Amino acid sequence: MSTSSTDTNPAPNKRPMTCFDTDDDDYHIRRSTDAVVQLEYDDPADLPPLSETDHAKSAGGSQWTRFVCISDTHDHTFPVPDGDVLLHTGDLTGLGRCEQLEKMVEWLCGLPHPVKIVIAGNHDLVLHADWYDKNWTSWHQRKEDTKKARLLLTGPRAKKAGIVYLANTSHTFSLGPGRREWTVYGSPWSPFFFEWAFNYKPEEAEELISSFPNTDILLTHGPPSGIFDYTKGGDFAGCPVLASHLSSGRLRPRLHAFGHIHEAHGADIHSWDPPNNSPSTPPKLQNDFFREENVEDDMFDDSGEAEVREVLEAIEAEKEEMRRRMGVEGMQRTVFVNAANEPNRRGRRNVKIPHGGPGFRPVVVDLKD
């Protein structure tokens, strides 16, 4: 979903960092000592295999794993880069019908990734069985088969294709003998939005998020507050409780992938400071849409040259600090990815973008084992 009723604004004295802040000349790539993120590219088929990348070649015996992140496909298929692990963070379908889910599972089964980990989202109505049994008449003319829907993702065909469906559950996998074991936890829930599936109210958030275990890879359908969650309506639609569990260090994944807010598609590497499990300042990460809305327009319209220069200097200082942190060995880092592939041109009119097209590509994340 591209909007939410939850409105959590960042602290007024902390300007959100944006996805264009990077230590790489090409802002479509993020780098640290243990992660490389490819956010934008011309053709998925042209991306070099992991084994041919500079970071894999110069690993000095270390191995890397390639994760390909997609989300909010909404009953559409498109080219996806090859990789070791495919992560789909929900909203496979447009309106949660079995025929839509069957189409998407068939597509997933045909993709080459040996491991495919999937969660549902608020649009995947039929996968939220208890909720659907009570609410189906508000959405569908005839009732869909919830057992059939779940079997599409958990049955023999899906298992043979490497699909693992997580619903507030964990999974552990390794790509082969001698390779690292990765732990993954997936939850389909997102903050309350007009009685859709897998919604939780603010007063239910703490109990839900407290049940999430610490894990290498965290998949949620909705974003944390302040992290790739800025909507066209000017709201920060992510979950503040999820953000607090991340900044406190109780949850400290290597990779946190989500979707839900289409226009907030983006990715960045966040370095936690201090580099241990003590509380850190909650990260504020947004994409170029936030910059266009708040830096180029709203923030500078009524400012004099001195104010403009002050803002630009602050951004440059943040970029310099990020460069420093990216090179520190042993620093705890989390790659945050809003992988939404549903095109939302963020206010730009008369531009037709396909699902998974420019600005909404699958996000490729290479992590050192």
Q: Which helix (H) or strand (E) holds 15?
A: none
CB of 265 closer than 8 Å to CB of 359: yes
Q: Please state the rounded mean pLDDT for residues 18-24.
A: 40
- Name which of 124-128, 199-203, 272-276 the model is least confident about: 272-276
- Torsion, Cα 255 258 259 260, to 10 degrees, reads -160
Taking the domain 17-368, which CATH number applies?
3.60.21.10
pLDDT at 276: 55
Domain ranges of the chain: 17-368
Beta bridge partners, 294, equal none
Beta bridge partners, 271, equal 333
Percent of the chain with pLDDT over 70: 78
Q: What is the mean pLDDT of the chain?
A: 85
Asked if the model's pLDDT at residue 299 lies above 60, the reply is no
Q: Please state the rounded mean pLDDT for residues 176-190.
A: 97
Q: Please state the rounded mean pLDDT for residues 2-9.
A: 37
What is the rounded distance in angstroms from the CA atom of residue 28 to the CA atom of residue 40? 5
pLDDT at 292: 64
Q: How far from 300 is each of 18, 31, 90, 166, 309, CA to CA, in Å?
A: 16, 30, 37, 45, 10
Q: Which of 311, 277, 255, 263 is nearest to 19 (CA)?
A: 263
Model-level pTM?
0.85
Asked if the model's pLDDT at residue 11 lies above 50, the reply is no
